[in-house]
Amino acid sequence: MRKSLKVKEEIQIYCDGGARGNPGPGACAFVVIKDKKIIHEESIFLGVVTNNIAEYNGVLNALRWLQENNSYSLIRFYLDSQLVVNQLNGVYKIKNDNLRKLRFTISELEKRIHSDLSYQYIPRERNKHPDKLLNEEIDENL
């Protein structure tokens, strides 16, 4: 008897965050891609934040979106912050209290999503779309 193979529905989420001045006015953005097509994009103005807090908020807001829209079994996050990726993957310790709190919130959301999640570093030039969105968000709110 042949076992039927369950096809995994996969999406990619490209996240970014940034602050002008570090700390300074900041925003985050994420872009959701399925089958090489953008199915959702979003940017959020964060007020005065650091770059790392903005990066974490990109992931956090993508996870919040996933909570409402998740029918995917395989979710691949891509970020251009090596530090944040290594902290999310447990390679680096998180020393900053604010980042530790954000990581805890992310962990709680990950548990509720029930999907295979991963975080991967990509170079900045492969993450242009969310970067453009967050910079437009900052410009609109200055």
Domain locations in the chain as residue ranges:
10-141
Mean pLDDT to the nearest integer, 54-64 = 97
Over residues 73-130, the pLDDT tens digits come to 899 999 999 999 999 999 999 999 999 999 999 999 999 987 899 999 999 999 999 9
Position 1 confidence tier, pLDDT thresholds 50, 70, 90: very low
Using the structure block, give the residue that is written with the tokens 């805890």.
104
Amino acid at 74: L
Position 5 confidence tier, pLDDT thresholds 50, 70, 90: very low
Residue 5, token pair as written in the block: 């193979």
**127 and 30 in contact (C-beta within 8 Å)?**
no
> What is the value of pTM for the model shown?
0.92
Cα gap 102→1, rounded to integer Å: 48
47 pLDDT higher than 80: yes
Q: Report the CATH number of the 10-141 domain.
A: 3.30.420.10
H-assigned helices in 15-96: 51-69, 82-88
